[in-house]
Amino acid sequence: MTGRDDKGRDRTTINVTDGSLIPSKDEGGLLSAWNISFFGAISLLVILPLFSPDPYLRILSFVPDGLVATFSVTLISIFFALIIGLFAGLGRISPNKAINRLATVYVEIIRGIPLLVQLFYIYYALGPLLRLQGPPAAILAMSICYGAYMAEIFRAGIQAVPKGQMEAALALGMSRSMAMRRIIIPQTVKIILPPIGNEFIALLKDSSLVSILAVSDLLRRGREYASTTFRYFESYTVIALIYLVMTLFFSRLVAMMEEKLRHRGTAD
């Protein structure tokens, strides 16, 4: 991404994030990197149990409930993270100094603490006080953590909408809140969809951390099987392939949604 600094000089910013997982429209063809990775992982998940049912077929039959737990934690966490991020993002651009400062402090503190530390803190330190155990504690920690990152995405997306849009809405007699709901937020969604997709994929991968909180997610089920059979290589190979298939699948889904929104915006 190129631009100019405050002295008018050209500068280049290199962003390396989970966005690299989202396939580009130009990356077509049967032998694209996405196709090789996705269908290669699926093929291994099919071939390995066929040629070696013990232990691969046993592992695959052992982890489905962990897969459900992983999806549940991820989807619920991203839902609450979006809500927290929306309000915190609005707070970050609020003209009210108290609200702005409160939202900014929340974002700075949460982004400065690793997710693993937050998981430990909420589960072990606040868990007994709030009576939270297992999945609820994990969902709370991940929602708060990713809510801070979502706040910055919403803030940047809202500020990317031309100021004339708000001024035109106010000139038509809309209140600021109505203009935000009907004019600004719908345009913001088109802008922030790719980074939100990135955060969802990152959250899906980070959900493996909840296995340390006695949550029977995909990774924990794999660890349980490995610890009882000592088949560590086989267990973690299957777990890695399943995570790879999930992240690549959702990266493709995000790319399709982004393309659909882009075409809709062009048609409008």
User: Is 31 inside any structural domain?
Assistant: no
Number of Cα atoms under 13 Å in the Cβ half of residue 237: 15
Q: What's the whole-model pTM score? A: 0.82
| Confidence band for 12, pLDDT divided at 50, 70 and 90 | very low
Range of the structural domain that residue 141 is part of: 62-267
Please report whether residue 17 resides in a domain.
no
CATH of the domain at 198: 1.10.3720.10
Average pLDDT, stretch 29-56?
88
Residue 252 lies in a domain: yes
Would residue 217 count as lying in a domain? yes
pLDDT digits (tens, 9 = 90+) for 125-143: 888 888 888 889 899 999 9
Using one digit for the tens of pLDDT, what is the confidence trace for 76-124? 999 999 999 999 999 998 889 999 999 999 999 999 999 999 999 998 8
Residue 195, in any domain of the structure? yes
pLDDT digits 0-9 by tens, 155-195: 998 888 888 878 888 888 888 888 887 888 888 888 888 88
On whether residue 29 sits in a domain, the answer given is no
Closest C-alpha to 73, from 222, 253, 212, 244: 212
Rounded-to-integer distance, Cα 230 and Cα 237, Å: 13
User: Which amino acid, 163?
Assistant: K
| 13 part of a folded domain | no
Query: Domain tally for the chain?
Result: 1
Q: Does any domain span residue 240? A: yes
